[in-house]
Amino acid sequence: QVQLVESGGGLVQTGGSLRLSCAASGITFSSYAMGWFRQAPGKERVFVSAINYGGNTHYADSVKGRFTISRDNSKNTVYLQMNSLKPEDTAVYYCAADLWGSGTNRARDYAYWGQGTQVTVSS
């Protein structure tokens, strides 16, 4: 049974930082591209960042220079370090897994999803 469990969300002030984690089980983690997406209230789920099985990373323009994705294959965990947070970063953040993926920004490419973690940035 595949499980992706996000953690690390919370309430932070503008300019603050959070680190999200996503722990995977039931998959050969090192063979998967891992992505982070977010969904704000009343809006579609959008791509944030991804890291493929080779360690190549991709970012949405809105988070470049502020967010950093990384993975620890020994812990089956992917991280999203979020710095210089803005109110517009407020959303539920989801991690997702794509077998042998390149780390695309298309949600439909990811087969497995976590339940999400809430990030709220106050102004």
52: nearest Cα among 68, 27, 71? 71
Convert the pLDDT of each residue in 87-113 to its tens digit.
999 999 999 999 988 899 999 999 999
pLDDT at 16: 98
Q: DSSP per residue over 26-41, as a string?
A: SS-GGGEEEEEEEE-T
Start-to-end Cα distance in the chain: 40
Per residue in 18-43, pLDDT (tens digit) is 999 999 999 999 999 999 999 999 99
- Structure confidence at residue 67 as a pLDDT band (50, 70, 90): very high
Bridge partners of 91?
119
Question: Rg of the chain's alpha carbons, rounded to an integer?
Answer: 13
pLDDT at position 82 over 90 = yes
Using a 10 angstrom Cβ sphere, with 0-12 exposed, 13-18 middle and 19 or more buried, the burial of residue 39 is middle
